[in-house]
Amino acid sequence: MELKDIDGVSVIIENRWKILAFIAFFIVFLALVKILLPLADGIVLGLVFAYICRPIYEKINRKNHYGAFIATMFIVTPLVIIIGTGFVEIFRQLIWVIENQSQVLGIIFDFIRAIVPSTYFEHINQLVWDSSLSILSFAGSLGFVSYAKSLGMFMVNLVVAIFVCYFLLLEGEKLYASAVCIAPTGTQLNTGRYLRELDRILSGIFIGNAYAALTVSTISVIVFYAFGLSHIPALATLIFIASVIPLFAGYMVLLALSVIRYIEMGAEAAIVFFIVKKVNKDCSNLSRRPEVSSCNYCLSIPIILNTK
């Protein structure tokens, strides 16, 4: 066939089966994305769990199902207990707030009356009343079914994370080899080096942050019990989440708890609580938090775990 006789329609007819196969593959891919999208949090969390569990798995040094299972349970169990019980407690408190809106507003007004001068009380009282009604009415309109659905999806994602973690520990090397094999022939060596370097960097970040957060939240449970605080699972979960984020998130939770302690028991109790929690947080961060050090004449970013 000459070049001038070739048109778009003939090309489509000639490659119709390839086009149909591509369309079918694309439809299946979209269906899988739609199905797996609600489980994306669990998949990502399972990847993080796998990085956290891998040092223990390598210490066990068993290339079988039991080694991966033991390593998974050793780290995942305390994380699931802390996060799971904490989120259940948080959802329970949210439901209580929605069902007892008048009591919540009364507590807010009593607190404002205690700290705000009487000349400004009426104005602030009206402002808080309007904003509280809009927020609580919106939260109440969501309904119990929405909270139950969110809690159910959270539990499902936790289960998915455990299975993803177990699979990555057991078949991680095979998955790495497969990723290198699908790369073009001339780039497989560089692809392998890139994946190894990326794996090393992510391992340092996830392991350092997760172990620091796990240590802080575990000790926080003891501290909260010692100081007689209520809703300990929810508070420990907030401390865990805040510890994962460096910078200011941990201090935001710590300052809020110290203010509550000051209102309930006075300045001395608040100062003691703040000092104890700050020492707990800083010591855990110094022992496990990763440090990113810049290196001259080097394109990579080495992640060094400070084990002093």
Could you report the per-residue pLDDT of 233-245, keeping only the tens digit for each?
Answer: 777 777 776 666 5
Residue 50 has pLDDT above 80, yes or no: yes
> Are the beta carbons of 181 and 189 closer than 8 angstroms?
no
Reading phi first (left if > 0) and then psi (alpha if -120 to 50, else beta), residue 61 is in left
Indicate whether 140 pLDDT > 70: no
Residue keyed to tokens 């350092």 = 208
CA distance 60 to 66: 10
276: tokens are 């104890």
**CA–CA separation, 97 vs 159, rounded Å?**
29
Q: Give 303's strand partners.
A: 292
Residue 231 backbone zone (phi > 0: left; psi -120 to 50: alpha; other: beta): left
Which pLDDT score, from 0 to 100, does residue 281 have? 60
Point out which residues pair with 292 in neighbouring strands: 303
287 pLDDT above the threshold of 80: no
Type of residue numbered 257: L
Q: Mean per-residue pLDDT for 285-308?
A: 39
- Higher-pLDDT residue of 21 and 1 is 21
- Tokens of residue 190, six digits: 């560089």
The alpha carbon dihedral of 24, 44, 234, 263 has a sign of negative
Query: In the 8-state DSSP scheme, what is residue 229?
Result: -
**What pLDDT score does 303 carry?**
33
- 289 and 209 Cβ atoms separated by less than 8 Å: yes
Q: Contact 154/87 with Cβ under 8 angstroms?
A: yes
Residue 2 pLDDT: 47
Name the band, by pLDDT with cuts 50, 70 and 90, for residue 304: very low
- Domain ranges (residues) in the chain: 43-182, 200-308
Average pLDDT over residues 57-80: 74
What value does the mean pLDDT take over residues 157-182? 83
The label of the residue with tokens 């079918």 reads: 24
Closest CA to 51 of 195, 194, 201, 190: 201
**100, 58 contact by CB (below 8 A):** no
DSSP 2: -
Whether the predicted pLDDT of 293 surpasses 60: no
pLDDT number for residue 273: 72
* DSSP bridge partners of 305: 290
Cα atoms in the Cβ-side hemisphere of radius 13 Å centred on 122: 1
For 47, other C-beta atoms within 10 Å of its C-beta total: 16
Write the DSSP assignment of 108-131 as a string of letters. Answer: HHHHHHHHS-HHHHHHHHHHHHHH
CA 40/CA 52 separation, integer angstroms: 19
